[in-house]
Amino acid sequence: MSHIRLDNPDFVPKQRASGLFPVLVLWGLVFVAILVFLWAQGGFGVGSDYYLIPWSIIAGVAVLAPPAYIFRKSGFDLFHPLIFAVWSYIFPAFVLGGFILAFGLSNPFFLSFIENPEFNIPFSLFIVVFGYLSVVLGFYLPSNKYLVKRMDKIVPDLDWEPQNVWLPGIALMFIGIGFNILGFLQGVLGYQRIDETGIFDGLLFFLTLIYLIGNLLLWLAIFQSKQKTGAYYLVLFLLVIMVPLKMALQGNRGSLFSSVLPIAMAFWYSGRRLKWQHSVVFGGVLFLAISIGIVYGTTFRMIKGSEARINAGDYVGQITETIDYISRTDTGRLILESSTTLFERLENLSSLAVVVSNYEKLEAYEASYGLKNNIYNDLLTAFIPRFVWPDKPSTSDPRAYSDLYFSYGDNSFAITPFGDLLRNFGLFGIPLGMMIVGMYLRLIYSLMIETEEPRIWKKMAYYPLLTVVSYEAFYATMFPSLLRTGVVLVLCILLITFLTPVRDLALPLGRVRHVRS
């Protein structure tokens, strides 16, 4: 049975201090890019919303304080839940988003929907800070220690050697690729939209998670392997080639960035010593992943024109046209076109402000859009799959939400858990709801990462469990997503265990130990 280091009040591993560098490099490059863009546009023009600057600075200090405390107290862990939330979403979307709005780098059409923006936009920043600090409070609740001790007793101790997971990892990847292809053909994946949700579409979407799990397992094995065999290089080639292929098919502006993150986590938790050179390279790679993803995704969407479903051959043809257009277009023009998209994609403060400004007066219309009490409804119906209940109502439909709040149902605008809790329970629902998130994050971090017996399966499971918490999506979908992700993880672990020689397996309560070579 694994042992949790409960004597450490912060549950933070003594990691390499140089790990702070990639985050600083990444957002330093973003900041420089913003300054260069402003200079290229003629400097800091008059008439911008400069009132947001002090509020953005205050919000930045508030959300950076917990990561700074963790760094000073126990070292830096790039994928610590409280740190990951800040650098991967909250800081760029809301803090940098405030600066982007202040300097007029993003002017979405729905800014006119925000009543009294001088109050509601700063108040939206306050809600973000309030929500994030509630996550921090939930993470450090003393009662978590009792919960962790109880859960640790039922967590199996599967000990897989890196060189023994090539076969199950490849098997999972190809099974996942099969489900991804099926999802693509069904219109569930890629830049396309289905007109009517099928009874198996939700199941198919979550089965595509198998690809991510297999991908994570293989990257962990790559970074932890001590011997470079033929299988090692074959798997490495397969993993590398899948990154651009996945980006090309998805047509998503964030797909390359999301492909790099699991690789970074696998390297981070591989036990290797992270030098400052690695940190600089990692920060640069993240910045390039964002930039290339924005260029490709924006161009692909422009060429395809809409989310209408087309046959697979035509879709692949759109990929070829996109690559051809990018190769023929002047680099300066591409940068100029994509920089505006980058700022609009980073900035989500204005989207939240629309909800903050209008949720009370639009509450009466939410029932007709299927959004009324969506957190309760999703929680109650999460256990019933759609293929069992074909008429199961869709209670957290991003298109319906976009239609109601933004008068444009052909896009999915960010709502954030903060906005969803505000809509459902009012301002005082935010701290309770986000504290529950903090408790969950403490639980998975303590069981999967902060343990004296780290196992490759725990690191593999940690990333999908961590990213179940999306700071861009509905709060209502977190628990259903956690439930389905957990089921997929269990199935994958059973398959891996069947295909992998297990050196040491401690079953719950430590009553049985099984050795299999």
Q: Are 94 and 123 a contacting pair, CB within 8 Å?
A: no
* pLDDT tens digits along 90-138: 999 999 999 999 998 888 999 999 999 999 999 999 999 999 999 999 9
pLDDT of residue 182: 87
Q: Are 346 and 100 a contacting pair, CB within 8 Å?
A: yes
The CA–CA distances, whole Å, from 160 to 156, 503, 504, 515 equal: 12, 7, 8, 12
Closest CA to 106 of 353, 419, 471: 353
Burial grade of 42 (CB within 10 A; 0-12, 13-18, 19 or more): exposed
Q: Spell out the SS3 assignment of 376-412.
A: HHHHHHCCCCCCCCCCCCCCCCHHHHHHHHHCCCCCC
How many Å apart are CA 153 and CA 149, to the nearest integer? 7
Can you tell me whether residue 54 is helix, strand or coil?
helix
Side chain identity at residue 86, one-letter code: V
pLDDT of residue 451: 84
Q: Which residues contact 302 (CB under 8 A, 6 or more apart)?
A: none
Closest CA to 399 of 359, 357, 370: 370
Closest CA to 476 of 344, 373, 364: 373
The H-or-E segment that residue 340 falls in is: helix 331-346
Can you tell me whether residue 505 is helix, strand or coil?
strand
pLDDT of residue 504: 46
pLDDT of residue 228: 87
Bridge partners of 451?
Answer: 4
Bridge partners of 506?
Answer: 157, 513
Can you tell me whether residue 514 is helix, strand or coil?
strand
Closest CA to 434 of 349, 69, 425: 425
Neighbours of 413 (CB within 10 A): 21
pLDDT of residue 386: 79
pLDDT of residue 198: 66
| Residue 2 dihedral angles phi and psi, to the nearest 5° | -75, 160
How many Å apart are CA 486 and CA 464, to the nearest integer? 9
DSSP string spanning 155-205? --EE---GGG-HHHHHHHHHHHHHHHHHHHHHTSSSS---SS--TTHHHHH
Neighbours of 177 (CB within 10 A): 18
pLDDT of residue 24: 53
Helix axes 456-467, 478-499, angle to 10 degrees: 160
pLDDT of residue 112: 94
pLDDT of residue 195: 66
Bridge partners of 514?
Answer: 505
How many Å apart are CA 450 and CA 443, to the nearest integer? 10
pTM value is: 0.85
Q: Are 85 and 135 a contacting pair, CB within 8 Å?
A: yes
How many Å apart are CA 81 and CA 456, to the nearest integer? 19
Q: Are 447 and 4 a contacting pair, CB within 8 Å?
A: yes
| Order of all β-strands in the sheet with 157-158 | 157-158, 505-506, 513-514
Q: What are the boundaries of each domain within the chain?
A: 17-147, 148-514
Burial grade of 73 (CB within 10 A; 0-12, 13-18, 19 or more): exposed
Per the listing, tokens 């799959």 go with 385
Q: Are 418 and 352 a contacting pair, CB within 8 Å?
A: yes
Bridge partners of 157?
Answer: 506
pLDDT of residue 325: 87
The CA–CA distances, whole Å, from 353 to 58, 59, 121, 225 equal: 17, 15, 5, 48
| Residue 516 dihedral angles phi and psi, to the nearest 5° | -135, 125
User: What stretches in the chain show pLDDT beneath 50?
Assistant: 1-19, 41-47, 504-517
Q: Which residues contact 123 (CB under 8 A, 6 or more apart)?
A: 353, 356
Q: Tell me which DSSP letter residue 232 carries.
A: H
Take residue 23 and report the two structure tokens written for it.
Answer: 């985050």
